[in-house]
Amino acid sequence: MTTLMLKAGREKSLLRRHPWIFSGAVARCEGTPEPGATLRIQAQDGRFLGWAAYSPASQIIARVWSWREDEPLDADWIARRVHAAIDSRRRLLPGVHAVRLLNGESDGLPGVVCDRYDEVLVVQLASTGAARWRETIADALLAATGLATIYERSDAEVMSLEGLEVRTGPLRGAAPPETLDIAEAGLAFRLSVTAGHKTGFYLDQRDNRALVRHHAKDREVLDCFAYSGGFTLNALAGGAAQVTAIESAASAIALARDNIAMNALDSERVEFIEGDVFKLLRKLRDQARSFDLIVLDPPKFAPTAAHAGRAARGYKDINLLAFKLLKPGGLLFTFSCSGGVHRDLFQKIIAGAASDAGVDARFLAQLGAGLDHPIRLAFPEGEYLKGLMCEV
């Protein structure tokens, strides 16, 4: 077994059960392990620290699978982890079949994401260790769920950081249909697991969509980065007087219109605007438009902390404009899904935007992903989705 020896004092994060080992913490690596190979992680004094997957192309040179020396990594170990994660979702969200089943490091499976859309599982294997155990993970998922179809969407930006090739296509069973229909809180949504964003749908926003629905009654709503209409449909279902939805992709707008029709919601209360959100927010400001409730759910601006400065400027810009468009007493639901922007920084950005907009704002709630997106206490990086519900 190859051993990765850490520099003196660099074992502290592992003793706190943080699963990442950065290349700068390594004193030496014995042998020439292949990418994804399991390494024994050892402190300078010889103490065992964990079993980890080797990733030579990444700054995160190893990701810890297990902290127990007597717990070797094999197919049975992976099956137990997969079953435990799925059993947790069954307890927490009984009867929900549009759900995240595996959430990477926070479920003890670094780089492994699996979302369920009724009878179809969609996996993303975004670490060398996950890719090495691809077939074993697939077998464990089928055994734990009783399903027959797995589609792989290993096409995230982080693939290149791990030195992995993009892989998409059927992993088990036949290819899924071009579109699938799922149910969420009494609404139906059509999605594409082969061509949609992420794995096909933003499951992490389930609770926040419900919150917008609760507060939408009789309000003029602006939904920015609307995609397939998740927040728009919930605002309509909550009794919004009017919804203006901005989305840059014509295909997403078409899907949102289909979702509205499928739910028999009033399409006359929706205005779709195709275009760049940054430019259109300025246009709405110049037109002296105003709204009672605004949703800002942009795509990832900062995949890593190195991009945080540029991302901060983007978040500041759209939130400043949103505050200018809000009526007194209006609500802003604003989000960041950038792993490189931590919650404290995001709150500071929003506070700065409110100040520059000349409004007196307060946040009513901190928002995040739902129960199917757990966050390991020792791994705050797992909290990629951050949000604030603000009032002016």
Check: CB of residue 242 under 8 Å from CB of residue 221: yes
Helix (H) or strand (E) holding 303: none
Could you count the other beta carbons within 10 Å of the beta carbon of residue 102?
Answer: 27
What are 42's two structure tokens?
A: 């050892």
- The whole-angstrom separation of Cα 371 and Cα 204 is 9
Candidate list 29, 114, 224, 337, residue with the active-site label: 337
Element spanning 211, H or E: helix 206-215
Residue 337 a catalytic site member: yes
Distance CA 203, CA 373 (A): 9
Q: Encoding tokens for residue 378?
A: 């020792």
| CB neighbour list of residue 288: distance below 8 Å, 6 or more residues apart | none
Backbone angles phi, psi at 243, to 5 degrees: -125, 130
Sign of torsion over alpha carbons 58, 61, 66, 67: negative
Residues designated as active site: 337
